Amino acid sequence: MPTGIPRVLAFLHPLIALATIALIYHVATLGLRSRQRRGEDARPVHRRRAPWALAMTWLSAASGVAATWLWRQDLELASGWHFWIGLGVVALLSTGAALSRQVPENQTARRIHPALGLLALLLAALQVFFGMPLLPF
């Protein structure tokens, strides 16, 4: 278990990740709202903010690996569910983002894009439970 400054720094990743989950939730709400009647105004806001949620997800995963490598000699890198679920969140959201350009003209993309996003959000929320036991308390 790290002590002193490394221990404080090890809390950076959980904080970044919690902010990320909140942002994915916010962006998902905008996307879904944009489909409701009189919700069209939410669509351009979703389109603008969603890339930030994707970037933050990548940052969360990178900061998790960096923190484990730099400050958590008590943990083994790339082992355990938290790592693999984290990778799953990144993969799902990135695939959803890649599909998003086809959303306006392709029915399949229009159906799959939100499903991938919601699955990513669900797994990201699960990360709270798989991440808690790793916290350096």
Structure tokens at 64: 């998790």
Helix (H) or strand (E) holding 127: helix 107-131
Whole-angstrom Cα Rg for the chain: 17
CA 123 to chain centre: 8
- Within 72-111, the residues that bind ligand HEM by CB under 6 A are 72, 75, 77-80, 82-83, 86, 89, 93, 96-97, 100, 103-104, 110
Q: Least separation, in Å, of the C-beta of 38 and ligand HEM?
A: 14
What secondary structure does DSSP assign to 85-120, as a single string? HHHHHHHHHHHHHHHGGGTTT-HHHHHHHHHHHHHH
Residue 49 interacting with ligand HEM (CB under 6 A): no
Per rule CB under 6 A, count of chain residues that contact ligand HEM: 58
CA distance 93 to 88: 8
Residues near ligand HEM, by CB under 6 A: 10, 13-14, 17-18, 20-21, 24, 27-28, 31-32, 34-35, 43, 46-47, 50-51, 53-54, 57, 60-61, 64-65, 67-68, 72, 75, 77-80, 82-83, 86, 89, 93, 96-97, 100, 103-104, 110, 113-114, 117-118, 121, 124, 127-128, 131-132, 134-136
